[in-house]
Amino acid sequence: MRENKKLAPRQIMFGISLLLVFGFSVAGCGLGSTNAAMRGQELFQNCAPCHQADGSGNPQVGAPNIAGMKAWYVQAQLQKFRAGTRGMHFSDVEGMRMRPMAVSLASDDDVKAVAQYVESLPTVKHAPTLTGDAHAGDNQFHLVCASCHGINGEGNPDLKAPRLAGVDDWYLATQLRKFKAGIRGNNSKDMEGRLMRPMSRVLTDEDAIRNVMAYLDTLNP
């Protein structure tokens, strides 16, 4: 039988060092993700007075239900507010209110953290507030909106089209009116907004808008 060779003290110390380095690396990864989640929750406290602690929104101040909204979309909109490509029109009262809140996020990492926290919140679906013809809205939605926002309103990140299912009908109707009036989507750097403007005009009147909202209210997020 071969004799077991004893490890030299230097080899033992080197092995221990490797274990320590590996252990700290793994712990650091976990700590980093935990810290990011905690940071997002902390930052969201500035949003809660309007959007509520659970992200369910408040129509009285024009704050939509954002709970469970995909992080990529929340992040993109916050960056638009920060850059002034959204929330600069004098008639966009809610947007102008949002812009300083977005600017208060000191870094891109903070934007990412709060967006990820928003996505982590359980989705909340409110009862409809608008009345319309859901059948007519079904036809209009699939003719105008589904190619970007998905046949079930689930959204499409490749096209930068957000989820519509489960979003408050009053908020979506308000945004469509803003697009139609040029209050939103009029900045040359807001590519998605500029694309939405002509699409919104296909819904020629309030009945068409309400019909699409009535159909969207039948969909689950």
Please name which of 185, 42, 31 lies closest in space to residue 104, comparing C-alpha atoms. Answer: 42
pLDDT digits (tens, 9 = 90+) for 142-165: 999 999 999 999 999 999 999 999
Question: Which of 77-88 are b and which e, b meaning 16 or more Cβ less than 10 Å from the residue's Cβ?
Answer: bbbbbbbebbbb
The reply to whether 131-221 shares the fold of 36-123 is yes
* pLDDT per residue rounded down to tens, the chain (221 residues): 444 455 455 554 444 444 333 343 434 444 456 687 899 999 999 999 999 999 999 999 999 999 999 999 999 999 999 999 999 999 999 999 999 999 999 999 999 999 999 999 999 999 999 999 999 999 999 999 999 999 999 999 999 999 999 999 999 999 999 999 999 999 999 999 999 999 999 999 999 999 999 999 999 98
Q: CB within 8 A of 128, min separation 6: which ones?
A: 169, 213, 214, 217
The reply to whether CATH 3.40.50.300 applies to domain 36-123 is no
Please name which of 181, 183, 175, 185 lies closest in space to residue 209, comparing C-alpha atoms. Answer: 175
- Supply the pLDDT for residue 37: 81
Question: What pTM was computed for the model?
Answer: 0.83
Domain 131-221 class? mainly alpha
DSSP helix/strand/coil, 207: helix
Domains of the chain: which residue ranges? 36-123, 131-221
- Supply the pLDDT for residue 163: 97
